[in-house]
Structure 1
Amino acid sequence: MFSPHERTVRMTAQTVEDLPAAIDRALAGRSILVLPRNRDDSITEVAPSQWRGAGRAPALILFTSGSTGTAKAVALSADALTTSARATERFLAGPGDWHLTLPTNHIAGFQVELRARLAGREPVRTTSASFTAESFAEEVESLFARGGSRPSYTSLVPTQLHRVLADDRATLAAAKFDTILLGGSAISPALLERADEHGLSIVRTYGMSETAGGCVYDGVPFDGVEITITDTSTIDLRGPVVADSYVEFNADGQISPVDNPGLTTDDDGSRTMRTSDLGRLDDGVLSVLGRSDDIIVSGGTNVSPHELETGLLPTWQHHGIAEVLVTWVPDDEWGKLLVALVRLEDQVSPAMRAALGSSRELARHLGGLDHGMGGQPLPRLAFPVTEIPNRSIGKPDRMAASRLAAELVAAERRRSRIP
């Protein structure tokens, strides 16, 4: 796939220290850094001469999470990457010390490496194969043991924060950070309330691979980033952090830009990312309302699973529900029948425990709670699950959730001998 003259940097604990120097080469235009699709594969450096597009070769190529289909390769310039990193510093309390918990083949993890590099001190990196509250607490202790007077930061996804807040030691460690960036998927108000109760300083981030990571913090865009809400209520992002293009790799290893209506460049060089996310602007502050392609049409009504999840969880959480993901299964009457996948806390209310034997009974019990979602179609089935399906960066995997719901429905029918 690549030139035989490429240099490879392994993404393992033993050689991850090679990544900062590779970032330097990419920012200086001496190589193109290519991140792998999978976190356990290799980061690759490719000669800039392999670039077949107009203008300077990109500094970084990485793959989208593929949450809406096939993952796409995105080309980001050195200017876009550093503009994003410096904007984060300005929004927070300046250059600081970073804790890295996210995979570096995703833009959120890579940006932690980049911000730390620009700040002049390597991050404390997780060495655990999977995130745990215990490993988080130990790593935070290592970060603060290094000393110094600079501010401290980390970047988490909501699933990680759930695990942190379920552990006293990890919660105390998290409270030491000056700021925790939180993004990657929908954030429930209940989760933010719990974090605030424990003294955690949270900044909500919104962005994607195509915008060099988060470019809207707590609903406010970075300087130079413009937000437009289209006629169809989707979000367009325009500015210096937007990627140059999508790209493809030719058989000989050359890299070429690919035209895509979702990522455009104007005649003046301004770049726009046309997202599939639904949004609303109130006095310049952005609220993200879910994805247009996640909308579920149930009984002729458009249902936003994101809106249901964020609306129901604050009440459900008081009855022992830690997380919820709304999905669907085919149904003759409804077309798509709404299904809630719920992850339970260790302690649940007696009434809910009595309802756990039937998906319809559990949904009826949860739907009857005082959740303030009157008039909204609600899930008619609810299944407890050990883990909510998600991708490696913590985004909900809605396709996997739909498949899991179908399997759970089929299994329950077999048990009950329902035709």
Structure 2
Amino acid sequence: MDFWTVRGEPGDVVERLRRWLSATDGEDVPGLVVETSGSTGAPKRVLLTRAALLASVRASADRLGASGPWVLTLPPTYVAGVQVLARSLVAGHTPTLLERDGWPDGEGWFVSLVPTQLTRMLSDPTDLAALRRAHTVLLGGGPIGAALRARAEEAGVRVVATYGSAETAGGCVYDGHPLDRVAVALGEGGRIRLAGPTLFTQYVGQPELTREVLVDGWFLTSDAGRIDEDGRLVVLGRVDDVIVSGGLNVPGPAVAERLRAHPAVAAAEVLGVEDPEWGNRVVAFVVGEASLDELRDWVAEAHDRAWAPRQLVRLDAIPLLPNGKPDRQALRARAEEAR
């Protein structure tokens, strides 16, 4: 299959995507390639068909109960940014580019953010006033703590948490429920499996990896989850976010969420870093003033004390990839430097 790779300045991507989306169904339309963030290694090149992207756009509008103009705050070359542009264009609106145009006037528009962006915007009066005018803020790209959701709701910002990836043409599970025609199942160890019309076709140049994760119409994600009593998918984090430390399984995302609730912590991430004594040591990367002993006690108040971090790395800010996700490789390097 022919394809084109999403690259370039936002304005150029908008025009190329506009032409691609406006092709008639009978035309020979090339696929579209978006790259993954590469947060845990080399980026993968994900091939999406026009039909898959449009299925996602339409299912999203159906679930939100409306469509309209979108504001781009994310890189246009990753799937979340591509989706913002496509949703706006399919709805008949040229997307607003926040860095160039600023927030739109009026109400009823949409925006997609990652948790770090929302956290910062809730503290900025101008951004907060704008977000209150939005129809919906889609929030994805990382763990979404209950405290952040509660803070947004108290501020009058309507948030819908999304789960998905480039391989699913973006978010395909909204607030724990799959979009129409999307199926969710759990495999061995709670590994999340997804199926439906939004799935990708292949990893370009990686046929073996494609066969590993696309099995009988299902995409085998790298995430673990559970289904709660209300039938909602709860994402527990990446399968490799479970840190085996001293023979115990420590769920990194749960520890990180607890740390973020500490009054002296502005931001936090938790990773396992190879260690000769523990196999992997639990490392807390924190923006804030709390000491390691304070944070260990804080975690132990809510969880098993064995989950408490054994190393604290203080940062001025969590290093991020261009798409707003934490740069896990940079964090691990900082942990090794700090030893």
Same fold (TM over 0.5): yes
CA distance in 2, matches of 1:7, 1:260: 22
CA distance in 2, matches of 1:24, 1:91: 21
Confirm or deny that 1:373 pairs with 2:303: yes
Unaligned 5+ runs, structure 1: 33-58, 129-137, 250-255, 353-361, 410-419
The letter of the residue matching 2:182 is V
The letter of the residue matching 2:224 is L
Alignment partner for residue 396 of structure 1, among 308, 323, 326? 326
Alignment partner for residue 250 of structure 2, among 303, 306, 323? 303
Q: Who is 1:61 aligned against? A: 33
Quick one: structure 1 residues 24 and 30, their matched pair in 2 at CA, closer, same or farther if it must change by over 3 Å? farther
The letter of the residue matching 1:303 is V
Alignment partner for residue 313 of structure 1, among 242, 254, 260? 260
The letter of the residue matching 1:320 is A
Quick one: structure 1 residues 257 and 340, their matched pair in 2 at CA, closer, same or farther if it must change by over 3 Å? closer
Confirm or deny that 1:325 pairs with 2:269: yes
**1:1-400 to 2 correspondence within 5 Å?**
11-12=8-9, 15-24=12-21, 29-32=27-30, 59-127=31-99, 139-140=102-103, 143-144=104-105, 151-248=108-205, 259-264=210-215, 266=216, 271-282=217-228, 283-314=230-261, 316=262, 319-344=263-288, 352=290, 362-369=291-298, 371-400=301-330
SS at match of 1:396: coil
Deviations 1:279-313 (A, max 9, x none): 00124210000111222211111112112112332
How much does 1:396 deviate? Answer: 2.1
Instruction: State the identity %.
Output: 39
The question of whether the paired residues in 2 share the 8 Å contact of 1:26 and 1:78 is answered with: no
CA distance in 1, matches of 2:237, 2:6: 36
Quick one: structure 1 residues 119 and 65, their matched pair in 2 at CA, closer, same or farther if it must change by over 3 Å? same
The question of whether the paired residues in 2 share the 8 Å contact of 1:364 and 1:380 is answered with: no
The question of whether the paired residues in 1 share the 8 Å contact of 2:266 and 2:287 is answered with: yes
The question of whether the paired residues in 2 share the 8 Å contact of 1:245 and 1:257 is answered with: no
Higher Rg: 1
Quick one: structure 1 residues 8 and 369, their matched pair in 2 at CA, closer, same or farther if it must change by over 3 Å? closer
CA distance in 2, matches of 1:248, 1:102: 26
CA distance in 2, matches of 1:111, 1:17: 11
CA distance in 2, matches of 1:192, 1:301: 30
TM, length-normalised to structure 2: 0.90
CA distance in 2, matches of 1:393, 1:197: 27
Quick one: structure 1 residues 7 and 186, their matched pair in 2 at CA, closer, same or farther if it must change by over 3 Å? closer
Q: For the aligned residues, what is the CA RMSD?
A: 2.5
The question of whether the paired residues in 2 share the 8 Å contact of 1:246 and 1:257 is answered with: no
- Corresponding pairs, count: 335
How much does 1:25 deviate? Answer: 5.5
Unaligned 5+ runs, structure 2: none
CA distance in 2, matches of 1:258, 1:25: 32
The letter of the residue matching 2:133 is K
